[in-house]
Amino acid sequence: MNRDNSLRREKQGKIPLLERELTEQIIGAALEVHRALGPGLLESIYQRCMEHESKLRQLPFESQVSIPVQYKGITIEAGYKIDFIYDNRVVVELKAVEAILPVHEAQLLTYMKLTGVRVGLLINFNVPALREGIYRRVL
């Protein structure tokens, strides 16, 4: 089955959407931040505002999570930091860029693989309507 058919079946309710409630809450927080600030700011500002909004909404999260890389029995501290991990169930990577590139999606998928978290959101705040900047991925 191809990916488009799978997504269509999820939307029709035949396949439950993994971590649906939590991702909706995270997206709601991002929408509020974007409504208040709009596009055009630095990613670090959106990061701090998402932290604050998530606390206000009592969403369990960790931010700027260091992630080592395991390779053939050694641990490499490579300086990678995940923007957010919500409740150990959803990885969130924030961007404030002109366009999402394949490397941004690859970064999210790599973080998901390294943590074992199956659901990820890539959120680009540098868009007129935030709906255009939200990408959901599942491993």
Q: What is the CATH number of the domain that holds 69?
A: 3.40.1350
Q: Is the dihedral of CA 72, 75, 78, 81 positive or negative?
A: positive
- Over residues 38-90, the pLDDT tens digits come to 999 999 999 999 999 999 999 999 999 999 888 899 999 888 899 999 999 99
The answer to the question of residue 114 being in a domain is yes
Q: Which two tokens stand for residue 16?
A: 């439950």
The answer to the question of residue 78 being in a domain is yes
The answer to the question of residue 13 being in a domain is no
CA-CA distance, 23 to 124, in Å (whole number)? 15
- Over residues 86-108, the pLDDT tens digits come to 999 999 999 999 999 999 999 99
SS3 103: helix
The answer to the question of residue 3 being in a domain is no
The answer to the question of residue 133 being in a domain is yes
Domain total for the chain?
Answer: 1
The answer to the question of residue 11 being in a domain is no
CB 123 within 8 Å of CB 93? yes
pTM of the model: 0.85
Q: Residue 89 sits in which domain range?
A: 18-138
Q: Which two tokens stand for residue 43?
A: 């990613």
The answer to the question of residue 73 being in a domain is yes
CA-CA distance, 84 to 62, in Å (whole number)? 6
